[in-house]
Chain A
Amino acid sequence: MELENLKHGTELIKRGFAKMQKGGVIMDVTTPEQAKIAENAGAVAVMALQAVPADIRKAGGVARMADPEIVSSIIDVVTIPVMAKARIGHFVEAEILESLGVDMVDESEVLTPADDQYHIDKTQYNVPFVCGARNLGEALRRIYEGAAMIRTKGEAGTGDVSEAVRHMKQIMGEIHELKGKNKEELLMYARDIEAPSELLLETAKLQRLPVVNFAAGGIATPADAALMMRLGSDGIFVGSGIFKAENPEIMAKAIVKAANNYDNPKVLAEVSKGIGSGMKGTSISTIPQEESLQIRGW
């Protein structure tokens, strides 16, 4: 087989990678030890970070890409895929992460945006990207830029699932609204929500996003994970919820089991028993508007 016949970084390969994550739980980790715990608990991937969102929120200041040493040390110890976050619009951070061998880049609102107008042109990379979205227009704009996976933004680092619920219901609701509309009406709708028209037509036809759609931002318990799956998520990101919990190992396993048994309250009751307290968290209503992470990106 001649090597020049291999096509890397195609849309099929990038979206395909995201599809392999379906039904799974992706966990935020900050050390190789945490990454091992996540892998042993059955995580489908880990997100390598300098600090979990709850700590980023607490620390304030400018949040940037993690130290490459942390990312590399995590890549070295686990066999599951490793993801890492780049700032919105910071295409150099994304290039650095790609060169480290990261399997997916999260262009994330949890970090301080580097560009207040443009997101990264994600079509230019072999590495696939995941991006946050709060509504259908935002999701389709990100997909148009090359995102291979969408996740709800929720409100990261809070342990309050309500914003993730809001964003998932918003996206699902808008997709349902497309049903029964004719082409003319769909094109009008695309204009209204500032979505690329081709992608909107495709979404209407599929009755789902053309890429995998995960839930993220505030998921802290097995019941939260199951709730998001019930709302139609393809899988779950858990940020601070694991390693800010009283017993991360048990919490990680319980959330994995819950993502697979989301429609079985008996199993959910069983896995939720005696797992220690979840992260303390912060209720959304107490967070001032200017400290909200979800409003970053557009």
Chain B
Amino acid sequence: MRTLAETKSRWEDTFKEGSSIADLQRAVKFNGPHSPCVAGLRSICWKAFLLWRDAPAEQWPELARESRAAYSAICGQHLRYIRHPEQLAALTIDPLADDPDSPWNAVRRDETARAEILQDVQRLPDEPFYHEERVQTMILDILFLYCKLNPGVGGYRQGMHELLAPIVWVVAQDAVDRATVTTDDPAEALIVEMLDSAFVEHDAFSLFSKVMESAGPFYEVKGSASSDTPQKNTIVERSKYIHEVALTKIDEELANHLRNIEVLPQIFLIRWIRLLFGREFNFGQLLSLWDILFAYDPHLELIDLICVAMLLRIRWTLLEADYSVALQLMLKYPTPAPPHGPHTFVDDALYLKGHFDAAGGVTLIFKYTGKSPANSSFTTPAPSRTTTPSFQKFNSLRQRTLGARSPLPARILQQPGGVEALLQGAAKNVMQRGEKLGINQAVRDAVGEIRRNVQGFQETRNTTRGARALSLFGEATPPPLQDHALTVAMMEKRNRRLAAMLDESVTNLKLLAASGFEGEKEKHLETVELAAAKIQFVKACLEDASLALPEEELPSLGTLTISGSAEISSSTVALDTTPLVMTSSAVDETRTALSTPDSSKGNSVLASPPAESQAKQLIAEVDKMDTDHHDEDTLPPLKSELTNSPSPPAVLTVIPDTPPPPVPIQREQRPHGPIPTRSTLAQSSFAWMLEPDSATSSLQRPHSSSFSSSGRPPSSGGGSTAQRKRVNPSREKNAFLFGEVTGDGAGEGLLSADQIFGLQPIRKGG
């Protein structure tokens, strides 16, 4: 156990950047070895992220006291006879009474439940800490009480013990033995109280219960006690969502491949998800992954995208893999090499949340592998799909989006993403500054609102694009080019003005910050509110494109572009610049139309042609999203200092001579349903695993039809493929067993199962 002096210094390190959640979040994400979770007190950070998120730091001790008292009460109630069997013996109740409510019978049931838990607790991973007897008892008690208090989960489920164990370890690691400490300093006394080793169990229980609020559904299974829970919450549905919706949208080629080789996602995802990746990475890596996860995603909504990000990292290997190789790979996930350790999967997931489409996938694939998917596999997102940032929100989002009538004229949508990217960049900036200065919830709220509305904007946009694309199926003609150019020009103009408004607000806030809040508080408050109001107005304009911008905002246009264009150029590279309904030739012509000098002046990046800049975009994007700088600098670089000259981002010029990758644009395809059906087992080499009816139905389809025409390399090393080439037909057929008996089965009588089994005794042994 640590000394008080060391603990105190760690305590101070933990809050070096401030004690607000946002401060801690940033420090955890960007500070690497100086993260409060590493150099400071991880248990305090986790408690702050999970338990005390909405409370100011002054209230934390009180909250801790309350939850500890509650746990003590629970222990007294449920562990009384287990911890003190002599009290049970002292009762005047017949131990053999039939009454199911008799304490004797209750204790017997409890003992059975505990035995089941203990069996797993004794098989915890190798950490010596887990195998100390007092620790095992602690883990057993916590799990037992959790199940007692949450009968809805249907009792202990294997895997919960490995979610709890790291939590216990983390809390115990930071604990201080009160008995060894004497202090008169109230601050030190508070630290000791917060980290009192007598309450490791209590605190671990609180943390575990909180994690299980979100992770509990991963353990739900059909037919469990909570049968009224919708079945979509089971791990299987979640796995399907990850494969068939999330992965399909982000990397359709990979999703199709996994489907073709018939890897059922739940086979590997069940462990990934239930243990929150606990078995996939080593202990230290797991803790840093959880640090960021808890910091940014206490409700575990990013899990889906973390899984997708993990699949993207090994996509090239997976694409070459057959069934058994792929499964081995995913059940023994290769350790990601530093500096992109497992914690960066959370970064990736955060990125994918904002870029829930093929372009987002390409960016990540390029970032980690240096290759982008082949032309043919890079399809634009299917128009019928909406932005679906999470499994939980999936359905409601879809309804909302489908129900919403788009306020945007369709032709404005031809330059998608510009506004969004602009706003995200600006919003990020405002946020960082605001938080750095420790000010104004007001601004944060406004910015948060903008983000939400950008989300809404994006959904609306997608809907409209979908509708438009659909209407085009009949004619399949691209919209008139003039229309595009005009739209883009209009959009640009509007964007510039909106940017100007935002910039003005930002400038005011900066000035306010620079003033150091000297002077009248009211005046500052007014400034902040004014800025918030303006931001709100921009939001409204973005929501409704028909809203006219007031002319008097124009004068500030001049001041905007200095900082604004830098902002824009770094943001715009993130755009989904592939308008859905364009054909390649249309793009070419539009490109010509758009890259004329006057339209590119001032804001050239917005007008930059999609295809040519794709590689540049990727690199710029990758650079921009990379959060893995563990600099001394505690804040992410602020991109658009007012004083900076509007130099174009250096990355854009890095590879000017590299030939651009193939144009990632295709003629729009017929939209897929949101959840594609799985039907290709029959075509795979594992067809023999099929149930009779599906195997039969597969006969009607030509073999090649379901294979992706993406031109991916044939899985040359694939065992079964190679096998098929090698063996002669009669050997080949032998490799396939079981399954349906075809109708023309040569009239052979079927043996009953009993006959088969009776004839197959294996007598050796015993």
Is B truly associated with A?
Answer: no
Interface, chain A (partner B; CB < 8 A): none
